[in-house]
Amino acid sequence: MVTAAELMAMHDHSHGAWGLLFPFLWFFLIFGAIYFLKRRGGWAGHRLDSGESVLAERFARGEITEQEFRERKEVLRGRKA
């Protein structure tokens, strides 16, 4: 006959189906969060717009002329206009 202490000792180290399920759940949770953040653009670190993109937007809105756009772009790239 098996005592209660022996029964507890036999089943104490068994995690059953949860022991197999939890690693998969963590895997999907972690990689799902990474996928979601990358897809939203949140993983890129919320970079500020570069000077050239701001300059291009100003040109597109008509705030600066093509000549000003080209000169300022050269300055941003480190070349003299």
pLDDT tens for each residue of 22-53:
888 889 999 998 888 877 765 555 454 578 88
DSSP helix/strand/coil, 54:
helix
For 54-73, the pLDDT digits (tens) are 999 999 999 999 999 999 99
Q: Do 76 and 52 form a contact (C-beta atoms < 8 A)?
A: yes
DSSP helix/strand/coil, 13:
coil
Question: What distance in Å separates the CA atoms of residue 28 and residue 35, rounded to the nearest whole number?
Answer: 10
pTM: 0.39
